[in-house]
């Protein structure tokens, strides 16, 4: 079964449910010409939108928020069919996160984008400030795991900043973007300012090549490098979020009840198809024998099924056959290298792309499943004997998006967190900052460049322009202007000693 067949030169993307194979809908595939036309429409529409005051843009975006709220059921049902998401996850991960992001930036955009004065240390007779102006046309190339939250979270921020925006959704989840785009336009966003183009990777490449002014990409490291290369050749600023291999460190003083529940959700939410999923569970040997068997029992109790048919589902399907094959191969490789399957470890027979929620024990660093992003309902477990060993394992990966630390000591948790190379480290919780629009979302190492969300993310969607002006306009000339005269050199030397020497007495030396 396949959700979209990349090898067929069909004029449309036909979307089938990953849970049962039923036809869900289709969209036309864009051509390079239609992509360029979309960029041209966006460029024509942007100046009028960007000329509106921030308060006016925020008022329209609040109408968008209300419209999303009113269409909650439509968004959730589509997510269950197109993406296989349990309705709880569609409601919380795809709807609530958008409502919260819009609420935050509607309240804070005027503050975030207000001109920022720069206190000048030397040029006291002048003044400077930074003002933030829209970049123009923003491209959001979004993934299939959170097509609403990630695709239109970036779109909303671009609009708050005064840009027009074009969303290129994954070829596996284009229907979500069609719904959200319609909602945005009906709520009052100009049609040219919010557009969607559909297709495979070549359509994303065509979008970058069409002359956009900013790119936000979420996806694999390999594709992210290609996007970065294209942006670099065209000097287009970009933000790249390229996935993670998040470790969860359960220390010897952890609250085991909270840790168990957090690891369960952090490892298997969205069938493990989250860039922030727990993909390495590192457990201190002092609590290992209590923690791991209890986790296995909780994982066995998870209900796997078709969310479009029932709301009593915890874990849905993998989104496509390729991802199911990747998960199967990584688990099989780990078992061949000595890992033990505590539960799961196999595909679920029948319709749909389901993999049984899996816990792997006795995992070692040479196993691929501890080094490559799994993106499935699998948690590999390692036992460590010390805090230092746990930190070493956390930092071993080439990826560094999120990490988690579980300990009853707040001071210890923060101390460990500050030693882990990850864009975000959470203490005694998992994933949740993805819904906190005020916090930055981004990684280090090969997990990406730049951040989404937060004040920084909104400002990055603007050009930061510097203005310097005369605070004392009565001066006829500056000291360093022409003409250069020999008699001024001693004065300049004394001025340098006064400013940067050890004492003001250098200004008037004896003798």
- List, in order of start, the domains of the chain with CATH numbers: 25-242+454-464 (3.40.605.10), 246-442 (3.40.309.10), 479-511 (no CATH)
Residue pair 99/183 in contact by the 8 Å Cβ criterion: no
Q: Is the pLDDT of residue 82 over 50?
A: yes
* Structure confidence at residue 503 as a pLDDT band (50, 70, 90): low
Of 80, 85, 82, whose CA–CA distance to 17 is shortest?
Answer: 82
Whole-angstrom distance, CA of residue 174 vs CA of residue 158: 20
E strand intervals along 3-74: 12-16, 23-28
Give start and end residues of each alpha helix (H) in 53-136.
54-70, 72-78, 87-89, 97-112
Whole-angstrom distance, CA of residue 96 vs CA of residue 452: 17
Whole-angstrom distance, CA of residue 221 vs CA of residue 225: 6
End-to-end alpha-carbon separation of the chain, Å? 93
Q: How many residues does the chain have?
A: 511
Percent of the chain residues topping a pLDDT of 70:
96
255: Cβ–Cβ under 8 A, 6 or more apart, which residues? 406, 408, 428
> Which region holds residue 188: left if phi is over 0, alpha if psi is between -120 and 50, else beta?
left
Paired sense of beta strands 444-445 and 399-400, if any: antiparallel
DSSP H helix total and E strand total for the chain: 16, 20
Whole-angstrom distance, CA of residue 170 vs CA of residue 149: 13
127: Cβ–Cβ under 8 A, 6 or more apart, which residues? 117, 120, 468, 469, 470, 471
Give mean pLDDT, residues 296-311: 96
* Relative orientation angle of helices 32-51 and 201-209, to the nearest 10 degrees: 50
3-state secondary structure of 126: strand
> DSSP class of residue 453?
S
Give start and end residues of each alpha helix (H) in 447-488.
454-460
> DSSP class of residue 114?
S
- Is residue 393 part of the annotated active site? The answer reads no
Q: Is the pLDDT of residue 8 over 70?
A: no
pLDDT of residue 507: 46
Whole-angstrom distance, CA of residue 203 vs CA of residue 56: 33
Neighbours of 37 (CB within 10 A): 15
Of 276, 275, 143, whose CA–CA distance to 217 is shortest?
Answer: 143
The per-residue pLDDT of the chain, averaged, comes to 95
Out of 216, 241, 279, 373, the active site residue is 241
> DSSP class of residue 129?
E
pLDDT of residue 3: 42
Give mean pLDDT, residues 414-432: 98
pLDDT of residue 2: 34
Whole-angstrom distance, CA of residue 330 vs CA of residue 430: 24
Give mean pLDDT, residues 238-258: 97
Q: 509 or 65, which is more confident?
A: 65
Whole-angstrom distance, CA of residue 166 vs CA of residue 38: 8
Q: 302 or 511, which is more confident?
A: 302
Q: Is the pLDDT of residue 201 over 50?
A: yes
Write the pLDDT tens digit of every residue in 341-356: 999 999 999 899 999 9
* Structure confidence at residue 473 as a pLDDT band (50, 70, 90): confident
pLDDT of residue 266: 98
> DSSP class of residue 367?
S
pLDDT of residue 475: 86
Q: 473 or 18, which is more confident?
A: 18
Out of 238, 275, 343, 363, the active site residue is 275
Write the pLDDT tens digit of every residue in 34-64: 999 999 999 999 999 999 999 999 999 999 9
Write the pLDDT tens digit of every residue in 91-114: 999 999 999 999 999 999 999 999
Whole-angstrom distance, CA of residue 105 vs CA of residue 57: 10
Q: Is the pLDDT of residue 233 over 80?
A: yes
> DSSP class of residue 79?
I
Residue pair 100/320 in contact by the 8 Å Cβ criterion: no
3-state secondary structure of 276: coil
pTM beyond cutoff 0.85: yes
Sheet holding 137-141, edge to edge: 194-196, 164-168, 137-141, 214-218, 238-241, 448-449
Rounded-to-5 percentages of helix, strand, coil across the chain: 45, 20, 35
65: Cβ–Cβ under 8 A, 6 or more apart, which residues? 98, 99, 102, 103, 106
Whole-angstrom distance, CA of residue 158 vs CA of residue 347: 40
- Is residue 58 part of the annotated active site? The answer reads no
Q: Is the pLDDT of residue 509 over 70?
A: no
pLDDT of residue 147: 93
Whole-angstrom distance, CA of residue 90 vs CA of residue 146: 9
Query: Distances from the Cα of 100 to the Cαs of 156, 376, 436, in angstroms?
Result: 11, 27, 8
Whole-angstrom distance, CA of residue 84 vs CA of residue 352: 9
């Amino acid at each position: 079964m396949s959700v979209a067949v990349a090898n067929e030169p069909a004029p449309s993307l036909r979307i089938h449910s990953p849970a049962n194979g039923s036809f869900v809908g289709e969209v036309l595939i864009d051509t390079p010409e239609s992509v360029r036309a979309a960029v041209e429409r966006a460029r024509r529409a942007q100046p009028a939108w960007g000329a509106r005051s921030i308060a006016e843009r925020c008022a329209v975006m609040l109408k968008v928020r209300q419209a999303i709220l009113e269409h909650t059921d439509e968004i959730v049902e589509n997510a269950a069919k197109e993406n296989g998401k349990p309705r709880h996850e569609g409601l919380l991960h795809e709807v609530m996160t958008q409502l919260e992001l819009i609420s935050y930036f509607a309240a804070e955009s005027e503050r975030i984008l207000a001109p920022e004065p720069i206190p000048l240390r030397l040029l006291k007779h002048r003044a400077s400030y930074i003002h933030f102006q829209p970049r123009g046309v923003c491209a959001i190339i979004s993934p299939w795991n959170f097509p609403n939250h990630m695709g239109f979270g970036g779109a909303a921020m671009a609009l708050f900043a005064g840009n027009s925006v074009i969303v290129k959704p994954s070829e596996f989840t284009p229907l979500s973007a069609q719904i959200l785009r319609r909602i945005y336009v009906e709520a009052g966003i100009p049609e040219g300012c919010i557009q969607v183009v559909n297709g495979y990777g070549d359509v994303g490449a065509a979008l970058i090549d069409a002359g956009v002014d900013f790119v936000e990409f979420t996806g694999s490291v390999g594709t992210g490098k290609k996007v970065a290369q294209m942006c670099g050749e065209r000097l287009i600023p970009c933000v790249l979020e390229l996935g993670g291999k998040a470790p969860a460190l359960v220390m010897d003083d952890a609250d085991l009840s909270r840790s168990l529940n957090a690891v369960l959700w952090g490892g298997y939410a969205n069938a493990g198809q989250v860039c922030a999923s727990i993909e390495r569970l590192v457990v201190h040997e002092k609590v290992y024998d209590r923690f791991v068997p209890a986790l296995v029992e909780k994982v066995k109790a998870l209900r796997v099924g078709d969310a479009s048919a029932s709301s009593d589902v915890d874990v849905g399907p993998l989104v496509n056959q390729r991802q199911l094959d990747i998960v199967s191969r990584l688990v099989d490789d780990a078992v061949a290298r000595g890992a033990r399957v505590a539960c799961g470890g196999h595909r679920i027979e029948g319709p749909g792309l389901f993999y049984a929620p899996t816990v792997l024990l006795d995992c070692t660093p040479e196993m691929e499943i501890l080094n490559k992003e799994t993106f499935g309902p699998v948690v590999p477990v390692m036992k460590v004997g010390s805090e230092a060993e746990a930190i070493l394992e956390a930092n071993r990966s080439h990826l560094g998006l999120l990490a988690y630390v579980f300990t009853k000591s707040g001071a210890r948790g923060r101390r460990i967190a500050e030693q882990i190379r990850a864009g975000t480290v959470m203490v005694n919780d998992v994933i949740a900052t993805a819904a906190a629009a005020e916090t930055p979302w981004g990684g280090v190492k090969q997990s990406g460049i730049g951040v989404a969300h937060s004040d920084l993310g909104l400002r990055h969607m603007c050009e930061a322009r510097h203005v310097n002006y005369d605070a004392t306009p009565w001066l006829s000339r500056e000291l360093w202007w022409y003409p250069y005269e020999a008699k001024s050199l001693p004065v300049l030397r004394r001025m340098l000693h006064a400013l940067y020497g050890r004492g003001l007495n250098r200004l008037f030396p004896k003798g």
